[in-house]
Chains A and B, each alone.
Chain A
Amino acid sequence: METSIWRPILYLVGIMAFAGLNAAYLGWCERKGAARIQRRVGPTEVGFAGLLQPLADGIKLMSKQLIVPQGVDGIIFRVAPVIAMIPAITSMVVIPFSGDIQGRAMELSVLLIFALASLSMIAVLLGGWASGNKYAIISSARAVSQNLAYEIPMLLTVIAIVMISGSMNLRDIAIDQQGGFWHWNIFRFENGHFLYMWIGFIIFFICSLAETNRAPFDMAEAESELVAGYMTEYGSMGFGLFMMGEYLNIVVGACLTVTLFLGGWDCPFGKTPGVWWFLLKIYVLIFTVIWVRWTYPRTQIYRLLNLSWKILIPFSLVNVLVTAALIKVF
């Protein structure tokens, strides 16, 4: 493709629109999904089937005043919600939506995404700290320890993927899996060995739930314990940005899972690859995330750490070793 000034602008607008739409409409999807699971109707009043509800919510949030509590660090307090949004949108740049649609194909895009994912934790920490609220600070302390514990198994499973594909470029990893679902990393055969990557997939999925602070790992905003966690003192668009950041993190997590394990934009039957397959896959994953949230009760912070250190990390280590052995040795 020739480099022109339009390309970055097009991608910028496209990604912003994609991010904004997702952030707004995932909220609607979540409410509708939860309602159906609970046998309610969900939003119905604003627009057809409540479709304009996110718009109404947005207008309401924007028209409210951002109240900065007395005696807090005003700058950090205002900056934290913005920091929550930025890494999520930035991550979208390197995600290969299809063979042609990608903001920028970088050699180390896997690393970049993980670096950015850790940044969103900083936002939680700053928001909690700057609020000057005891609930908020407990919440951000929880969020940080949780994130630290889950980066490790997550990265370990990714190492296995990188070993299989031999590249840290998301685009290469996706291209490596083209040609039907039997080529996807989740059902990967290599050198005539089945690689058991579905274990890695489950570990990665659990970790991405924990990384994005989703139920059952939403200790950071456990509303029955910590009121609203790090968002307690936020109102108006400060709260809105945190919410949007959270949903975008889910989208990024789903995109990453699809690219790493589910063959990216590949069609399961090896016929017509394209961006629609990619979108279908990420929305199925996102629906699963919503489904999980409305099924389980919340776990407890030390159970969560136990799960990470006692189950996920040993399993992902074994996974790396077995994969390496199967690829290189046998």
Chain B
Amino acid sequence: MNRVEQTKAALEAIFPVEEQEQNESTQVAAEEAVENEPSIERQTGVITTPFEKHGSHLDVLCEPSQVVDIAVILDENDFFLESIAGVDWLKKEQLEIVYDYARYDHDQCRVTVRASVPRSKPVVPTISLVIPGANWHERETFDFYGIIFEGHPDLTRILLPEDADFFPLLKDYMP
């Protein structure tokens, strides 16, 4: 069992069984979907993605409440956090948070974790208590998108001035 399968098994434990069954039925479809259709529309769960194409082995779509559990599992499996990115899906009225994890390993496994929150109430629990390195990345995402990371020790502006009152990477932001 290589690293990717191990990690996948560990991560699948998070998703409830009945949902997972559903997933497994849709998974084949989902994996096919990766090839032609954007993997944006799909249900929560873990799927493998072709590394050569997407640059990540596992793609995890989860509820915002699950990001901490996933961070704990990945942290236990010696993953480190590469970055946290926000994506503003204006048409769907959603903000997406994309976490990238990788390992210091030659048996490489990159994991992308995605969670969506409504634009009107962008709140997601912080993972900076599990992974201290997430602290700055979360502050940066807050800085650019206004996503509130609940429980973050110091959620203030990091790159923009302290008194900035806008979130520049939102698609409807006009300078």
Direct contact of A and B (CB under 8 A): no
Q: Which positions in B face A, CB cutoff 8 Å?
A: none
Q: Which positions in A face B, CB cutoff 8 Å?
A: none
